[in-house]
Amino acid sequence: MSKHPLSQRWSNQKWRWLLPILLVLLFLTTLIWLPWQAQRMEANERQEQLIADTLWVEQAIQFQLDRNEEILRQVGKDIIQEKLSPNSANDRFRQLLKSNYEIHRIDWFDEQDKLINSTSESPLFESQQSAALQPNLSGPEAKSKTRCLEPILETDSKNSYLLSCQIPLVRGNKRDGSIVVSYRLQGILEEMAPWWFAQDNQISILNMDEKILADRSAGGMGKNVYTHTRQLEFSGLSLILRTNSNKTEPKLLSNLLVLSVVLLSLGLIWSLLALWRDITRRLAAEGALRQQVAFRTAMENSLITGLRARDMEGRLTYVNPAFCKMIGHPAEDVIGRIPPMPYWAPEAYQEYQERFTLMLSGSVPAKGFETIYQRANGERFPVLIYESALVNEHGKQTGWMSSILDISELKNAQELARQQQEKLHASARLATMGEIASMLAHELNQPLAAISSYTTGAINLIKAGSNDHALLQSALEKANAQTQRAGHIIRSVHEFVKKTESSREAVSIPNLIRSVLPLVELQAQGSHVHLQIQLEAQLPEVLADKVLLEQVLLNLTRNAIEAMAHCPPELRLLRIVARCEQAVRGESAAANNVIIEVIDRGHGITEEIAKQLFSPFFTTKTSGMGMGLNICRTAIEFHGGSLEHQNNPLGGTIFRFSLPVK
């Protein structure tokens, strides 16, 4: 008889649902069993770790005590061999105490157990403990063994138990005294148990009656969940080391099934939210990217700086409109091309090829460099180029990006500034000569008056019909000398004032000073100033513009002479000193700079004036423009030197400028 179809379908559905139910039950069982198993494993691991750490602490204590005993036995051996006096032995004892804080004291007794030396002044033992030190062993081996006594309570304020160990001193087969080392049991725990172990565990030392002799619980009292006991074996004494962890048992999660379902549900919701957020962010990023591309395109189209990109083979992959406008070629004519480029000037092909080779080798200059490009119509123009590596998102270089600046206008502005600077220097020289014009006229009057006198005398001799040719020749020679003197003064002024192009040449400092000396003497004579020149032998030449240096010297000397106008006559001394910089420092190497100093004995410069001394248009004179010192500093810095000043120890001021040697 066959089964009913409905019951057969129900039976099939029952078996169909049985597997998912079994899987769910298995899943729930696993969820419950795994935390419980993890709890047991964690508890076992904690207990095993506590046992291992306790064993390590026990071994550390035993090792340190054995090490101290070995050191004291060596001291005892030195005492038996009479190598140590009581004072020396006490020094050794105290040295051991300094490096081992767990040791409370060390005592040395003779064969009658009378105290010879001690590291402490207070008595150590009560009568019963003192009696325990008496030897009661027999045999050579027994007499040499260390004995440890029952811990006694320390009577001072520390209230700590002391563990005393007696190390016998044996000479031959005869006992010759003993060394007794006393440990603070509390100190043993504090010094030999590591801090990290004491933070997690309560450590105690007990006697065999389980009386606590020392205890350390830096992290709190133990929870009596994880404990371990080790026996500390000493010679003739046994103590107990007990550790009690302050950790509790790991707790099983409550409402594990409900929590699991909630967590899984939250995880699913979070996944959906994360997916929605990721899609939203992706769409926003795509929109922002399109906006950034449009913005970058508009920005690049508005730039006046040319941009170009090249791949690792030097092929152009991108140019902006500014670069195309600069070279006069459309983008389609240069994109995809490799050197030589249509904007390269033929006369600079070699330079381009060298730079292109360096670029392919990866040697891109950190600073920009200048070169010449050619427009489509053949016009040359200077450019300033900055190179930078193009790196993709994986940190790999894919090419180079270049910024190109047309610096034609900058070059024109620099040339105009140079011309204006030359005009400024020429105007300064003319202003300087205007200030000394009156003294120049006075100086020329003397040779002209002498010439007039000598020629008048010569004319009178001729009219008188004198035949004294020697006298006539003498008058004419003197007139000629005065004429040459006047001409020399005029030529010096003309050479200084005339406008010349700025050019550098090898300049001898002595010759430079001699060339301006007539004009300096002219100013000095008018103010009754004595002039002193001091030149170091074999001064090296400098590469400079002679006219600019003459202007600086004349300006500094004029200021020095004017500064001494109201000084007593005996103080009116102007010194010009030229020397090498190495001669000042006392070095034997070749000179790097030539130092020129203009020294006066005038009124000096106050601190307020010194702050603005080199500022443009600052002056203390009623008729000056305030540009002299500023022009001097500019001229010296143009030559790579420096101009500075300081007070003269004898009174006055020292202006000093340096020039690099040729």
Q: What tens digit of pLDDT does each residue of 319-329 get?
A: 888 888 888 88
Strand partners, 237: 234
- Record the tokens describing residue 525, joined without a space: 């004579």
Q: Are residues 512 and 606 in the same domain?
A: yes
pLDDT grade for 120, boundaries at 50, 70 and 90: confident
C-alpha neighbours within 13 Å on the C-beta side of residue 474: 6
In the predicted model, is pLDDT for residue 596 greater than 90? yes
Q: Are residues 388 and 459 in the same domain?
A: no
pLDDT of residue 366: 62
Q: Are residues 467 and 338 in the same domain?
A: no
Does any domain span residue 45? Answer: no
- Model's pTM, two decimal places? 0.38
Domain count across the chain: 4
What DSSP designation does 179 have? E
Q: Are strands 542-544 and 505-507 parallel, antiparallel or unpaired?
A: antiparallel
Out of 1-5, 20-24, 614-618, the most confident range is 20-24
CATH number of 347's domain: 3.30.450.20
Q: Are residues 468 and 516 in the same domain?
A: no
Strands (E), 114-268: 115-118, 147-148, 152-153, 161-171, 174-184, 201-206, 212-216, 227-234, 237-245
In the predicted model, is pLDDT for residue 202 greater than 80? yes
Q: Are strands 227-234 and 212-216 parallel, antiparallel or unpaired?
A: unpaired
- C-alpha angle with apex 545: 543 to 551, nearest 5 degrees? 130
In the predicted model, is pLDDT for residue 125 greater than 60? no
Q: Are residues 231 and 157 in the same domain?
A: yes
- Count CB-CB contacts under 10 A for residue 17: 10
Does any domain span residue 289? Answer: no
Q: How many whole angstroms separate alpha carbon 68 and alpha carbon 76?
A: 12
Q: Are residues 518 and 438 in the same domain?
A: no
Query: Which H or E run contains 511?
Result: helix 509-526
Q: Are residues 534 and 489 in the same domain?
A: no
What DSSP designation does 418 have? H
Q: Are residues 440 and 511 in the same domain?
A: no
pLDDT grade for 242, boundaries at 50, 70 and 90: very high
Write out pLDDT tens, residues 330-357: 888 888 888 888 888 888 878 888 877 7
- Count CB-CB contacts under 10 A for residue 202: 21
Which residues make Cβ contacts (< 8 Å) with residue 209, sequence separation at least 6?
none
Does any domain span residue 577? Answer: yes
Report the b/e string of 562-571 with b at 16+ CB within 10 A: bbbeebeeee
Q: Are residues 648 and 555 in the same domain?
A: yes
Domain boundary among 206, 223, 245: 245
Domain ranges, residue 93: 52-245
Q: Are residues 342 and 420 in the same domain?
A: no
